[in-house]
Structure 1
Amino acid sequence: MTTSPPAPSVSPGDGEPLYRVHVFCCSNERPETHWRGSCAGRGSRRLCDYMCRLGMALGARRVRINHAGCMNVCEHGPVMVLYPEGVWYRYETETDVEEIMRSHVLGGVRVERLVLSIDPATLHG
Structure 2
Amino acid sequence: MDSFYKYHVFFCVNQREPGADRPSCANCNAQQMQEYAKKRVKTLGLAGPGQVRINKAGCLDRCELGPTLVVYPEGVWYTYIDETDIDEIVDSHLANGKIVERLKIDQ
TM superposition score normalised by structure 2: 0.93
Runs of 4+ with >2 A deviation: none
- Residue in structure 2 matching 1:75, options 64, 84, 89: 64
Identical-residue share of aligned pairs (%): 44
Gaps in structure 2 of 5+ consecutive residues: none
May I ask how many residue pairs the two structures share in their alignment? 104
**1:104 equivalent in structure 2:** 93
Determine the C-alpha separation between the residues in 2 that align with 1:59 and 1:91: 23
Distance apart, 1:66 and its partner CA = 0.1
Distance apart, 1:35 and its partner CA = 2.2
Determine the C-alpha separation between the residues in 1 that align with 2:46 and 2:61: 28
CA RMSD for the aligned pairs? 1.0
- The structure richer in helix per residue is 2
Preserved contact between residue 32 and residue 41 of structure 1 (Cα < 8 Å)? no
Structure of higher CA gyration radius? 1
**1:97-118 CA deviation, whole Å, 9 max, x = no partner?**
0000000011000100000014
TM superposition score normalised by structure 1: 0.80
Q: Report 1 or 2 for greater relative contact order, CA contacts < 8 Å, sequence distance ≥ 6.
A: 2
**2:19 equivalent in structure 1:** 33
